[in-house]
Amino acid sequence: MNKLIKIFSKRSTWATPYAIFLMLFVVLPLVLIGVYAFMDNDGAFTVANFVKFVEQPEAFNTFIYSVAVAIVTTFFCILLGYPAAYILSNKEFNRSKTMVLLFILPMWVNVLIRTLATVSLFDITGIPLGEGALLFGLTYDFLPFMIYPIYNTMMKIDKNLIEAAQDLGANQMRVFLKVILPLSMPGVVSGIMMVFLPTISTFAISELLTMNDIRLFGSIIQENIMLSDTMNYGAALSLVMLLIIGATSALGNDSEEEMSHGGII
Amino acid sequence: MKKLIAKGYLWLLLALLYTPILIIAIFSFTETKVLGNWTGFSMKLYTNLFSGGMSSSLVNAIKNTIVIALVASSLATILGSIAAIGIFNMRSKSRKAISFLNNIPLINPDIITGISLFLLFVWLGVSQGYTTVILAHVTFCTPYVVLSVMPRLTSMNPNIYEAALDLGATPFQALRKVIIPEIKPGIISGFILSFTLSIDDFAVSLFTKGNIGLETLSTYIYSDARKGGLTPELRPLSTIIFVTVLVLLIVINRRSEKQAKKAKS
């Protein structure tokens, strides 16, 4: 009994249940994607799923197209979001936290409802649905996810650095280019992760915005994984997606820092 | 002048972000089936919502969404808060490892989380339904709870805890009387965040709900939209959800701003 109390009062063991949970519900499922991807319907090892992906023009072209759409969407989000984050974090222009809140609030509105609202906006104004609507809709849906991380890193920039640069004679342009821009890059990187990756794997949004005309990679994955005879092919497509996630997140990884200073609300 | 341009830009962007949401809100006050077609002011959709004048499948979907969100966010809050205390007391190496795992669900797009868990349940041979959806929601909510509680622990003065021990408190008493009150705001915001994330979720629910006819609000909207139209009652419903979230966030925000001011003075 005493031993038990000792184990429990050693508080580092308190993370054990969660560690087990993470193993079972995060690590194992990801491993299973890899396992199923290299299996045929009877459970034997095969690479046929990947051969099918490269050889089948529909899936492969959709994949390339989705990456292109995701790049353009991410670019638009940075273009619109970076200045907004800069203005929001600058005391000279904005002191209100509520303003910041208004920008991240759409993150809490169901993405399907927001997308359908965009569709209705196009209907009312008579703009046809299609590629343009898709890009607009995706930018609209993901813009808050770009603004928020950039704003967060900008707020953390040590104001003394900016003053020091000014004292040393840098004009506003130079202060921005030499201090603010480089120091806000981690925010841009996490913004890219929060926009680029979900865009490639989007499925419902693209279907709604283009009346099922344009399908992104996510739709192809979804269709295959849900059917038992193409499940392994779907797993192979998911593995391709996972590789992209790995490559993108290798670009910027400061997990430890995020952990101790994060906080969402 | 510069300030005017900066402010103007922010307001323009906000107008863009909120126009679709406003359209939904405006058209919740008219009975039309199609958005954009104003058929006169009416509160009928709102009264339908509260007097049971809508389809039972929508009512069930709303009930399911709330039950799942309550159960999943409570479980995630307990699991995540205990884990955060454990992680905080870990040595830096194992701490880094578990932080890395904790970040995986945050980085993964919903579709990958959904598919990987779908494969897990297929592999385990579990029939999918309520339980699997709740487990899946706990999986993607808990990391946010850990991230909300962690900064509270980091900013806590460790001497208070030591003092409690010196004054004769057992570790458990010290935990209850010192640590928990200190991290309570983090626990609460972790819970609220988990709750809204769970309500909002679409992709993960879609992959883990199985085919026993379980629908959440999001999956209901999805199948509804695929059939060609949105149930009119969804307009007042999303308006109410939006206003609730808006008020909730502003209240939380005001409260934390007041607390910050108090702490300063």
pLDDT in tens, A203-237: 888 888 887 788 889 888 998 988 878 889 999 99
Degrees to nearest 5, angle at CA A147 with A214 and A262: 120
Q: How many interface pairs between A and B have CB atoms less than 8 angstroms apart?
A: 267
Chain B residues touching residue A208 (CB < 8 angstroms)? 225
Same-domain pairing of B263 and B209: no
How far apart are the CA of A101 and the nearest CA of chain B, in angstroms?
A: 8
Query: CATH number, domain at B120?
Result: 1.10.3720.10
Same-domain pairing of B177 and B240: no
Tokens read off for B224:
């509804």
Is B147 a domain residue?
yes
**CB contact (8 A) between residue B119 and residue A235:** yes
Is B217 a domain residue?
yes
Same-domain pairing of B126 and B249: no
Is B6 a domain residue?
no
Question: Quick one: CA torsion of B97, A146, B191, B46, rounded to 10 degrees?
Answer: -150
Same-domain pairing of B209 and B137: yes
| Of residues B153, B128, B138, B139, the one with CA closest to residue B209 | B128
Length of chain A: 265
Predicted local distance difference test score (pLDDT) of residue A247: 85
Chain B residue with CA closest to A98: the answer is B250
Predicted local distance difference test score (pLDDT) of residue A255: 40
Predicted local distance difference test score (pLDDT) of residue A68: 94
Is B101 a domain residue?
yes
Tokens read off for B249:
């966030």
Same-domain pairing of B186 and B239: no
Rounded alpha-carbon distances, angstroms, from residue A208 to A129, B34, B146: 9, 15, 35
Chain B residues touching residue A207 (CB < 8 angstroms)? 226
Which of B65, B111, B198, B242 to mutate: most A Cβ within 10 Å? B111
| Of residues B184, B185, B146, B182, the one with CA closest to residue B164 | B182
Q: In what helix (H) or strand (E) does residue A162 lie, and over which residues does it extend?
A: helix A159-167
DSSP class of residue B127 equals P
Nearest by CB to A238, which of B115, B245, B253? B115
Same-domain pairing of B161 and B216: yes
Chain A residues touching residue B255 (CB < 8 angstroms)? none
Chain A residue with CA closest to B92: the answer is A256
Chain A residues touching residue B82 (CB < 8 angstroms)? 14-15, 17-18
Chain A residue with CA closest to B210: the answer is A226
Is the CB of residue B169 less than 8 Å away from at least one CB of chain A? no
Same-domain pairing of B204 and B74: yes
State residue B203 phi and psi, 5-degree precision: -60, -45
Instruction: Quote ipTM for the complex.
Output: 0.85
**CB contact (8 A) between residue B24 and residue A120:** yes
Total number of domains constituting chain B: 2
Chain B residues touching residue A197 (CB < 8 angstroms)? 107-109
How far apart are the CA of B243 and the nearest CA of chain A, in angstroms?
A: 10
Same-domain pairing of B97 and B143: yes
Is B18 a domain residue?
no
Same-domain pairing of B136 and B248: no
**CB contact (8 A) between residue A261 and residue B151:** yes
Same-domain pairing of B140 and B262: no
- On average, the pLDDT of chain B sits at 86
Sole residue written with tokens 């509260």: B50
Is the CB of residue B81 less than 8 Å away from at least one CB of chain A? no
Is B215 a domain residue?
yes
**CB contact (8 A) between residue B109 and residue A245:** yes
How far apart are the CA of A2 and the nearest CA of chain B, in angstroms?
A: 14
Predicted local distance difference test score (pLDDT) of residue A260: 41
Per-residue pLDDT of chain A (265 residues), as tens digits, is 566 556 556 677 888 899 999 999 999 999 999 999 998 888 788 888 888 888 888 888 999 999 999 999 999 999 999 999 999 988 888 777 778 888 888 877 778 888 888 888 888 888 888 888 899 999 998 999 899 899 989 888 888 888 888 888 888 888 888 888 888 888 898 899 889 988 988 888 888 888 778 888 988 899 898 887 888 999 999 999 999 888 887 766 544 344 444 444 4
Return the half-sphere exposure (C-beta side, CA atoms, 13 A cut-off) of residue B64. 22
Chain B residue with CA closest to A123: the answer is B36
Nearest by CB to A259, which of B6, B115, B147? B147
Same-domain pairing of B86 and B205: yes
DSSP class of residue A128 equals P
The number of beta carbons lying within 10 Å of the beta carbon of residue A4 is 8
Nearest by CB to A116, which of B151, B230, B256? B230
Chain B residues touching residue A222 (CB < 8 angstroms)? 111, 206
Is B194 a domain residue?
yes
How far apart are the CA of B51 and the nearest CA of chain A, in angstroms?
A: 23
Same-domain pairing of B130 and B252: no
Predicted local distance difference test score (pLDDT) of residue B255: 72
Is B3 a domain residue?
no
**CB contact (8 A) between residue A118 and residue B20:** yes
Chain B residue with CA closest to A258: the answer is B147
Helix axes B180-200, B234-264, angle to 10 degrees: 160
| Residues A11 and B90: beta-carbon distance below 8 Å | no
- Secondary structure of B147-196 as H, E, C letters: HHHHHHHHHCCHHHHHHHHHCCCCHHHHHHHHHHHHHHHHHHHHHHHHHH
Rounded alpha-carbon distances, angstroms, from residue B126 to A31, B105, B209: 18, 22, 12
Which domains occur in chain A, in start order?
Answer: 67-222 (1.10.3720.10)
Tokens read off for B98:
């578990």
Q: Which has more pLDDT, B39 or B95? A: B95
Q: Which residues contact A17 (CB under 8 A, 6 or more apart)?
A: B79, B82, B83
How far apart are the CA of A75 and the nearest CA of chain B, in angstroms?
A: 16
Chain A residue with CA closest to B136: the answer is A25
Chain A residue with CA closest to B208: the answer is A226
Range of the structural domain that residue B81 is part of? 57-231
pLDDT digits (tens, 9 = 90+) for B190-236: 898 899 889 889 999 999 998 888 999 999 988 888 776 677 888 88
pLDDT digits (tens, 9 = 90+) for B55-81: 788 889 989 999 999 999 999 999 999
How far apart are the CA of B3 and the nearest CA of chain A, in angstroms?
A: 6
Radius of gyration of chain A (CA): 23
Nearest by CB to A17, which of B82, B105, B242? B82
Radius of gyration of chain B (CA): 23
